[in-house]
Amino acid sequence: MDYSKRYNEWLLFDDATKQELLKITDEKELEDRFYKDLEFGTGGLRGIMGAGPNRMNQYTVAKATFGLAEYLSDRFEGEKHVAIAYDSRRNSRAFAECTAQVLAAKGIIAHLFRDITPTPVLSFAVRYLHCCAGVVITASHNPKEYNGYKVYDEHGCQLVPALANKVIARVNAVTDLRAVPRLDFEVAKSSGLVRFISPDVLDAFLAAVKTQSLYAESRDIKVVYTPLHGTGNIPVRRILADYDVSVVPEQEKPDGDFSTVRSPNPEERDALTLALEQARREKADLVLGTDPDCDRVGIAVRHNGDYVQLTGNQVGALLADFILRFKKDSLHDGATLVKTIVTNDLGANIGRKYGLQIVETLTGFKYIGEQITKFEQSGDRYFVFGYEESYGYLAGTHARDKDAVVASMLICEMTAFHKANGRTLVDALQALFDAYGYYLDALDSITLKGKYGAVRIRSIMQAFREAGSAAFDGVREVLDYSTGIGDLPKENVLKFYFEDDSWLAVRPSGTEPKLKIYYSVRASEKDAAQERLDALRRMIHEEIGE
């Protein structure tokens, strides 16, 4: 269908949609809104908010929910319950209510959080409330113009491809967006088809998080915390109630425009600028920053009078060492650490030293959550810790997604433990490097927006795939995950291993118009690692031409 025809159809949807569209004069903007449907993929929906089929709006949310409801009707018999949470982004509450209305119209009971809620609490709530699915309205760390829609299975794990594909088929079968039924919200409440979730659920979640505590001998650290205008403020502060915590006042309250940051992403250095300024004034030991849906956490630690920001790989390895140091006497056969294929091997090697089995998954914490359920069903392994390089960590099985609340608690305990023993986390990391080798990692994200950006990303991946081991000098092995590697689902990822055991991986982002390039180098010392990393980066950017 020609995009101009679809544009004219959308002018008939409602007056607000019509007025928004009539104000657009940029032809490329109109083409981008209408040349395709916003895809419901294995990560659900995520896109820029606005009118049009390639945007996040009430109609695309209703379409996704109707497809989900049809899938749930196929899979489950009897009364069905779905938990719904939302973050602080613009329209999140409205999209959550729209989700509840469509479910109610299909006779499915929607349990809705009254206030903004972290993603890991939604994951917990699905099982706690005996739901058959969960939905969270969030775009995680994306810029303010984005929102998203993530679906969780009955175990509280984000849908993996085998299940997501069934939902996708049902979503794609919806052709008339205006015909999707919605029950009036007040009618749905009065009939019991929409129910607000009790605050007791958050209390139960925090109690479950507390069971993962490992070190209580000292709380002698000063912490500066920023929720980056998101959902973490209340749960993180409650779990850290025994610590001296000061919150960045400019970023404490929910703000869907994330007005104090360029992007609310704790992976990016400038997201913690205000927190670092406050930490310097207060001489804090630790800075914590959680993203808007509070499933990821970035940190900086005071070392030699200044603040050092640690990467996700580094924090994950430090947490693995800390957790296993305290749990070593209780570990038994089947203890397992789970990480993703783009996470470096330091944490895995620490796990191996303590006798753990190591499982690698594709990128995305849903695959780590899936392993937890598999372990419980088979009984031959049990989950100790899981993490990914993009600042996501999980200890315990209360959630089946990354959890910045439990991670914040353990990071504070780890910082206090090392401080009591005369070390900073930087000192502790250096000790790991001395024992296991110096690991240096990096991520390049190349943004290529719109229809033509998507074509460019596909052409780059195809060029690397066709070149294989000849793509770069010194390649020992190429893993093409699109063909299926072992038991892993097929995914558009290429990983190049070099003769010196360094590697790089290339994949399109599943949530943004970006090509992501991951690098990992292991060397005897820092300068050698930096030299090798720089060489890898030059090599790939020459090939891409960016």
Residue type, 164: A
Four-CA torsion 283, 286, 292, 293, nearest 10 degrees = -150
Contacts of 539 (CB under 8 A, 6+ apart): 472, 473
Q: CB–CB of 295/404 below 8 Å?
A: yes
State the fold for domain 36-200: Alpha-D-Glucose-1,6-Bisphosphate; Chain A, domain 3 (3.40.120)
Report how far residue 323's alpha carbon sits from residue 213's, in angstroms, rounded to the nearest whole number: 10
Residues 82/136, Cβ–Cβ less than 8 Å: no
Q: Which positions ≥6 away from 145 have C-beta within 8 Å?
A: 48, 49
pLDDT for the residue numbered 1: 53
Measure the CA–CA gap between 197 and 29, rounded to whole angstroms: 40
Q: Which CATH number fits domain 313-402: 3.40.50.2300, 3.40.50.720, 3.40.120.10, 1.50.10.10?
A: 3.40.120.10
Distances from the Cα of 440 to the Cα of 34, 47, 146, 266, 348, angstroms: 42, 32, 31, 19, 15
Q: In the prediction, which pLDDT does 185 show?
A: 98
Closest by Cα among 349, 500, 501, 317 to 414:
317
The identity of residue 177, as a single letter, is: L
Do residues 465 and 483 lie in contact, with contact meaning Cβ atoms separated by under 8 Å? no
Q: Which residue has the tokens 């023993």?
A: 421
Q: For this structure, is 140 an active site residue?
A: yes
Residue-by-residue DSSP string for 160-219: PHHHHHHHHHHHHT---GGG-----HHHHHHTTSEEEPPTHHHHHHHHHHHTT----S--
C-beta separation of 231 from 294 below 8 A = yes
Smallest Cα–Cα separation from 437: which of 338, 504, 529?
529
Decide if 138 contacts 293 (C-beta within 8 A). Answer: yes
| Amino acid letter, 274 | L
DSSP character at residue 501 = S
At residue 509, the pLDDT reads: 84
Say if pTM beats, i.e. exceeds, 0.85.
yes
Domain 438-544 has what CATH class? alpha beta
Question: Roughly how many angstroms between the first and final C-alpha of the chain, as a whole number?
Answer: 34
Q: Where are the domains of the chain?
A: 1-35, 36-200, 313-402, 438-544
User: Which segments of 291-345 does DSSP mark as H helices, in order?
Assistant: 312-327
pLDDT, tens digit only, all 546 positions of the chain: 578 899 999 999 999 999 999 999 999 999 999 999 998 887 889 999 999 999 999 999 999 999 999 999 999 999 999 999 999 999 999 999 999 999 999 999 999 999 999 999 999 999 999 999 999 999 998 899 999 999 999 999 999 999 999 999 999 999 999 999 999 999 999 999 999 999 999 999 999 999 999 999 999 999 999 999 999 999 999 999 999 999 999 999 999 999 999 999 999 889 999 999 999 999 999 999 999 999 999 999 999 999 999 999 999 999 999 999 999 999 999 999 999 999 999 999 999 999 999 999 999 999 999 999 999 999 999 999 999 999 999 999 999 999 999 999 999 999 999 999 999 999 999 999 999 999 999 999 888 877 778 888 899 999 999 999 999 889 999 999 999 898 898 999 999 999 998 999 999 987 678 899 999 999 999 999 999 999 999 988 888 775
Contact 494, 506 (CB under 8 A): yes
Residue 217 to residues 138, 288, 318, 418, Cα–Cα distance (Å): 37, 21, 19, 12
DSSP state, residue 59: H
Please determine whether the domains at 36-200 and 313-402 fall in the same fold group of CATH: yes
> What SS3 class is residue 56?
strand
184 φ/ψ angles, rounded to the nearest 5 degrees: -50, 135
Q: Which residues contact 195 (CB under 8 A, 6 or more apart)?
A: 109, 110, 111, 112, 189
Give the 3-state secondary structure of residue 515.
Answer: strand
Contacts of 420 (CB under 8 A, 6+ apart): 217, 218, 220
Q: pLDDT tens digits for 297-337?
A: 999 999 999 999 999 999 999 999 999 999 999 999 999 99
Three-state secondary structure call for residue 512: coil
Task: Write the DSSP string, 404-471.
Answer: HHHHHHHHHHHHHHHHHTT--HHHHHHHHHHHH-EEEEEEEEEE--HHHHHHHHHHHHHHHHHHGGGG
Q: Looking at 140, 390, 408, 520, which residue is catalytic?
A: 140
Judging by beta carbons within 10 Å of its beta carbon (0-12, 13-18, 19+), is residue 91 exposed, middle or buried? middle
Q: Are 214 and 410 in contact (CB under 8 A)?
A: yes
* 255 in Cβ contact with 88 (< 8 Å): yes
pLDDT in tens, 399-444: 999 999 999 999 999 999 999 999 999 999 999 999 999 999 999 9
Q: What 8-state DSSP symbol labels residue 114?
A: S
Q: In which region does residue 294 sit, left (phi positive, over 0), alpha (psi from -120 to 50) or beta (all else)?
A: left
Give the full edge-to-edge strand order of the sheet including 286-290: 244-247, 222-226, 286-290, 297-303, 306-310
